[in-house]
């Protein structure tokens, strides 16, 4: 397959990651199961035999069986891409698979909440119907979901002060409202909600950035993700997963920047 895309010029934003939280314990697991894909294999065979073969050989038997990224994490990445891009047609199937792979209802709920800020409100809201359907079928109750205003994780005061100063000096004269909400709503609230581990929240964010082509934001958030416990091998497998689900062009557009971040940390 010919490579797609070219390097994109990047403006790197500075910032220290939140190192206060440990990586998710599930990150070390590599056993992976293929999802129940939609549409069915029979339907694909009837209209696109080539696509049916790629789905069977390269997606189900290939990508989803690779080591290096836990099954739970592959589902988290895929779910974050689908929700973040508003692709809800087959979302119930992927939600069922994600829960079977080890994601909890609380983690799924927090993923959708987080994506409202990083992929857009309506994209996140479009997932509400499928979530209601799946949660109702599984007997998920309000007690299984995160509180609206939980006790927050500790804030890394030094890292947040450095981030806030950089954003204020760069963008304060452009939109003070954006600067204020970035601090008050995102970094002093959303990022500190405890029902999605900081590593996983970072993984969801990086997924959203790659999926939406927001290359300029990758250096800060990928660095933060690795500070929060994401490994270089997991970054590579995340990019591979997204190549199939977000498309090769978006991944190749992001890879030069991802490569720069990884090289700087070696």
Tens digits of per-residue pLDDT, 150-172? 999 999 999 999 999 999 999 99
Ordered alpha helix ranges (H), 119-156: 121-125, 128-137
Q: Is residue 266 part of a domain?
A: no
Q: Going by C-beta distance under 8 Å and a sequence separation of 6 or more, which residues neighbour residue 241?
A: 63, 69, 74, 77, 78
For 1, the token pair is 């397959």
CA atoms within 13 A on the CB side of 211: 28
Give the count of domains, the chain. 1
Q: Is residue 167 part of a domain?
A: yes
- What global pTM score does this model have? 0.87
Report the C-alpha gap between 69 and 53 in whole angstroms: 24
Q: Is residue 206 part of a domain?
A: no
Q: What are phi and psi of 114, to 5 degrees?
A: -65, -40
Residue 17: closest CA among 148, 206, 179, 255: 206
| pLDDT tier at 41, thresholds 50, 70, 90 | confident
Q: Is the pLDDT of residue 78 over 70?
A: yes
Q: Is residue 163 part of a domain?
A: yes
Residue 170: closest CA among 9, 17, 11: 11
Domain ranges, residue 180:
154-192
> pLDDT exceeding 70 applies to what percent of the chain?
86
Q: Is the pLDDT of residue 35 over 80?
A: no
Q: Is residue 65 part of a domain?
A: no
For 230, the token pair is 């994401």
Q: Is residue 58 part of a domain?
A: no
| pLDDT tier at 34, thresholds 50, 70, 90 | low
Q: Is residue 160 part of a domain?
A: yes
Q: Is residue 159 part of a domain?
A: yes
By the 8 A CB rule, do 171 and 178 touch? yes
């Amino acid at each position: 397959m010919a490579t797609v895309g070219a390097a994109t010029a990047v403006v790197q934003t500075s910032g220290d990651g939140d190192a206060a939280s440990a990586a998710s314990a599930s990150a070390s697991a590599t056993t992976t199961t293929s999802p129940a894909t939609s549409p069915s294999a029979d339907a694909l065979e009837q209209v696109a035999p080539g696509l049916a073969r790629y789905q069977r050989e390269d997606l189900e038997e290939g990508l989803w069986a690779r080591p290096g990224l836990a099954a739970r994490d592959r589902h988290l990445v895929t779910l974050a891409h689908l929700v973040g891009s508003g692709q809800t047609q087959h979302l119930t199937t992927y939600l069922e698979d994600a829960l079977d792979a080890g994601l909890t209802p609380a983690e799924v709920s927090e993923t959708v909440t987080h994506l409202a800020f990083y992929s857009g409100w309506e994209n996140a809201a479009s997932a509400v119907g499928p979530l209601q359907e799946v949660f109702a079928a599984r007997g998920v109750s309000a007690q299984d979901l995160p509180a609206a205003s939980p006790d927050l994780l500790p804030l890394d005061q030094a890292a947040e002060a450095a981030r806030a100063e950089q954003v204020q000096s760069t963008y304060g004269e452009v939109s003070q409202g954006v600067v204020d909400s970035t601090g008050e709503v995102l970094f002093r609230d959303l990022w500190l909600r405890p029902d999605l581990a900081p590593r996983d929240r970072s993984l969801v964010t990086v997924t959203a950035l790659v999926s939406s082509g927001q290359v300029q934001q990758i250096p800060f958030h990928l660095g933060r993700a690795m500070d929060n416990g994401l490994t270089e091998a997991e970054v590579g497998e995340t990019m591979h997963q997204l190549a199939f689900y977000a498309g090769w062009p978006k991944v190749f557009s992001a890879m030069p920047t991802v490569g720069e971040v990884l090289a700087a940390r070696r």
